[in-house]
Structure 1
Amino acid sequence: MPPPRVNKKPKNESTPNDNTGTLDDPLKFLDQDYQELKKSCITNQKRFVDDKFPPESSSIDPKNKLKLDLDQIEWLRPSKIVSDPQIIVQGVSRFDYSQGSYLGNCWFLASVGALTFQKDIMDQVMPADQSFGKDYAGIFHFRFWRFGKWIDVVIDDKLPTIDGKLVFVLSKTSNEFWPALLEKAYAKVCGSYADMDAGRVSEALLDFTGGVHVCLELEKPAIDLWNLMDRAAKTKALMACGSHQGETSENVLPNGIVQGHAYTVTGVFKVTCQEKPVRLVRVLNPWGRGEWNGAWSDKSSLWNKVSEKEQTKCRSLANDGEFWMSMEDFTKNFEDTDICCLRPDFLDSSSKCIWTTTHYNGIWESGTTAGGCINNKGSSYINA
């Protein structure tokens, strides 16, 4: 493969202010200013309707990829769905939501599950200065990291429903709407809801953090993967994993694992079973149901061989999509794991160096080494 090169600066491109695109001063996506739009709505006593991502079929599925009957869709504000809408009810949790049946965005929701563990990062993505209470104007905003810059994305709160129920991500608490609003903001950045149908966990993890991403293949890990994941968890990294592809999309195996599916890695832990250490990994299915039923699963008899203290700390019998499995079963049943963090300190437990970042701005050009799909290794270097 030819060596990579730094693409030249596009002609007539002005140099942006170095202070823009930061968390303190994010770029305004599609030139929409949240504060100005909200102020205008309050002054005119109107609720915001987003003309850049309108509550219409074009925002859901412009090319009819989802095969959804768009004539059934009714866009409703949360106050028309429930009597007491809230953004967050009793804190943000990975158990707040489950994936909708019309959209294959498990990759996005697996990343959201990882995001819920890191309050500081969650607060960056979902600013706290908004609610359905005082100064409510039907407008909300979220922040994502895109191509080296933080952007502020404005949305209205009209959500697609059928028979009064949300079409896509579902909240397990009926009056909690942060998952649906976050999903809508990300759909706007992607172009439509349908453009979120299939994707890579790494994309959303990076968009949530602007961090450093590492993808590790699990078939023959060349490192002590469990210890690496343990260090990553302790440094507050976001982690996810993907199962092997099957002959059909999202086929559920007899052991409960869904093929071709993204999961959140929610923990690593070591227990003592019959005086021997066992390394475990905890995994969450973004469907909010459907679990591994093998060794160390919720109802596995192996839990009876560990101390009550460890059982209390780890074991749960709830059918919530989350389960434990041994590291050996984890590497057999999953194809790869994604780790994303603000600094890659976890890669070397003895490292004391300070990481810095450098950005190179450029453009993709036909026939250059911009890079195409990694699945086509023979032609990816010519952007094909």
Structure 2
Amino acid sequence: MPVFNENTAFINLCCQEGSEGSAFNPAKYNNQDYTQLKNYYMEKGRLFVDSSFPPNSCTLGDIPYLNNWEEDNVVWLRPADLMKRQNNSDEPTFCMDGASRFDFGQGGISNCWFLAALSSLTFSRDLMVQVVPMNQSFVDYAGIFHFRFWRFGKWVDVVIDDFLPTMNNELLSVFSKGRNEFWVPLLEKAYAKLCGSYADMNFGIPLDACKDFTGGVSMSYQLKQVHSEGHDEELWLTLTRATQCLSMICCGTAPKGGSYENTVSHNGLVAAHAYSVTAVSEVECLGSKVRLVRLLNPWGGQEWNGKWNDKSDMWNSVSPDDQQKRLKQDDGEFWMELEDFCDNFAMVWMSCENPNFTDGDLTCQWKCMIYEGSWMSGKSAGGDKSEVLFETNPQYRIQVATNEEKQPGDKNLMVSLMQKPQVKRSRTRFYPISFTIVKIPPGVSTHTHTHTRTCTNDLHMYELHFLNSLNIAMTNSTTHSSNEVYSP
């Protein structure tokens, strides 16, 4: 079988620093220029209405939990008008005192997967200000806001108006606990626009949103398998390194009895639900080391009631310093032991700008490359290795160069594979996709074009073939890398 053929593609390196689609110069989603639009409406003394995502039923979409009567009673209001109806005399603000994981609670949209990722995002100020430009306010106001997301190799700037869906004078979407703070529902609206509608945010996995917030390395673990195969030590080490790198970490419980209904178990955990991992810590209890994981329920309540919960007497057996970690508020955040974490959660997802946490070396540099291609029936959709036409699949050549004098030791290759949705998120059909890595035999002649870019800790990573040489470590992810989806 030839290693290369007419379907072979070469490196298509996107988004050089400063070019359109980079972190510093995001592409204009729907060709809408935030600055130009705001200046225009300020000069005209009018408020912006987004004709590409208007305040109507199409933008809301078909919300499963709303019947026709309720949908007819959805009213789209700007923040100031909503506050007037709530008899709130305060002025609306964009963000007060910085962004926090405790700023918001889930509304009527089944998007706990998105909010779990958002909770994790608040831990990294650099990523937070990349996604949420903090120079926005209701001063010099024109009813227009913008947010940035990473989409398949490019950062995009998404413009929205500030009409928000309400019912009975309450936000139907995510709500801010500060009644006059609106960065979260506005961010949710921008992401809904990216997905196609609010309804297109119903159900998903946190890894999708983590990827769109970072453009970084993503991976997932099946916790029961990790635990049953005795890999708790490796999991703990990875979680510890990931938190040190300010990675976004989320997890999810399995559906109960095959149903995706969010039933509350006897231990306080919610079935088919996404949580964010906010910290890990090791404490000494009665002479033994205990590994603890801290989690946050995006509902803003409903916590674990097992060992090491907020009211557990086990906290009385640790040092005074460790007792300071005890959580005493019913805010949805709680601690649990690593073993209970593995027993009660099905998956954990991690996403980080930089892959260094995978091997513990937080200083090394990586090469970053992007390939784009497609599987086309009759031309480049060759199936798996057992198929006769396997060689017609898209092929990419990666040459791993090494300089043992400058960089001795093993090298690593990390690969990530993604499928681009062609239509609205909820209507996208996700296919089983995979990749195979083969070694080119010595003496085989190939046409090559080398174009690499060095990525360091303080640069945003782009999707996503990382290259640094010989030993191979692989991750394989799609936009839906698991059959599990998480509702409210």
Q: What corresponds to 2:71 in structure 1?
A: 70
Counterparts of 2:309 and 2:58, CA distance in 1 = 43
Counterparts of 1:130 and 1:6, CA distance in 2 = 50
**Distance apart, 1:227 and its partner CA:** 1.7
Aligned residue runs from structure 1 range 27-38, under 5 A: 27-38=27-38
Alpha-carbon displacement from aligned partner over 1:233-274 (angstroms, at most 9, x marks no partner):
011111000111112311110000111110000000011111
Alpha-carbon displacement from aligned partner over 1:5-25 (angstroms, at most 9, x marks no partner):
99778xxxxx98851101211
Counterparts of 2:363 and 2:123, CA distance in 1 = 25
Identify the range of structure 1 (234-243 vs 349-358) with the bigger mean alpha-carbon deviation. 349-358
Q: What corresponds to 1:316 in structure 2?
A: 327
Equivalent AA in structure 1 for residue 133 of structure 2: P
Q: What corresponds to 2:454 in structure 1?
A: none
**Distance apart, 1:65 and its partner CA:** 4.0
Contact 1:218 1:332 in 2 (8 A): yes
What SS class does the counterpart of residue 227 from structure 1 fall into? helix
Q: What corresponds to 2:40 in structure 1?
A: 40
TM-score by length of 1: 0.90
Counterparts of 1:17 and 1:217, CA distance in 2 = 33
Contact 1:8 1:362 in 2 (8 A): no
- Max Rg structure: 2
Q: What corresponds to 2:116 in structure 1?
A: 110
Identify the range of structure 1 (355-364 vs 40-49) with the bigger mean alpha-carbon deviation. 355-364
Alpha-carbon displacement from aligned partner over 1:20-63 (angstroms, at most 9, x marks no partner):
101211110011000111011001000100000000010001x4
**Distance apart, 1:167 and its partner CA:** 0.4
Equivalent AA in structure 2 for residue 84 of structure 1: E
Contact 1:292 1:323 in 2 (8 A): yes
Q: What corresponds to 1:88 in structure 2?
A: 95
What SS class does the counterpart of residue 258 from structure 1 fall into? coil
User: What are the ranges of 5 or more consecutive residues in structure 2 without an aligned counterpart?
Assistant: 84-89, 384-392, 394-417, 421-430, 435-477, 479-488
Aligned residue runs from structure 1 range 291-302, under 5 A: 291-302=303-314
TM-score by length of 2: 0.71
Counterparts of 1:17 and 1:178, CA distance in 2 = 28
| Match for residue 326 of structure 1 among 312, 333, 337 | 337
Q: What corresponds to 2:254 in structure 1?
A: 244
Counterparts of 2:98 and 2:299, CA distance in 1 = 20
**Distance apart, 1:176 and its partner CA:** 0.8
Counterparts of 2:6 and 2:237, CA distance in 1 = 36
Equivalent AA in structure 2 for residue 241 of structure 1: C
Equivalent AA in structure 2 for residue 354 of structure 1: Q
- 2:346 is the counterpart of 1:340: no
Alpha-carbon displacement from aligned partner over 1:57-85 (angstroms, at most 9, x marks no partner):
10001x45443421111111111122411
Q: What corresponds to 1:289 in structure 2?
A: 301
Contact 2:15 2:22 in 1 (8 A): no
Counterparts of 2:58 and 2:8, CA distance in 1 = 35
Counterparts of 1:118 and 1:344, CA distance in 2 = 16
Aligned residue runs from structure 1 range 246-285, under 5 A: 246-247=256-257, 248=259, 249-285=261-297
Counterparts of 1:108 and 1:201, CA distance in 2 = 6
- 2:386 is the counterpart of 1:380: no
Q: 1:44 to 1:363 in 2, by over 3 A?
A: farther
- 2:175 is the counterpart of 1:123: no
Counterparts of 2:189 and 2:180, CA distance in 1 = 17
- 2:206 is the counterpart of 1:205: no
Contact 2:95 2:134 in 1 (8 A): no
How much identity, in percent, do the aligned residues show? 46
Q: 1:176 to 1:227 in 2, by over 3 A?
A: same
**What root-mean-square deviation, in Å, do the aligned CA atoms of Structure 1 and Structure 2 show?**
2.5
Name the count of aligned residue pairs. Answer: 368
Alpha-carbon displacement from aligned partner over 1:128-180 (angstroms, at most 9, x marks no partner):
221011x2110000000001000000000010011211001111110111110
**Distance apart, 1:351 and its partner CA:** 7.0
Alpha-carbon displacement from aligned partner over 1:88-113 (angstroms, at most 9, x marks no partner):
1222111111111x221000000000
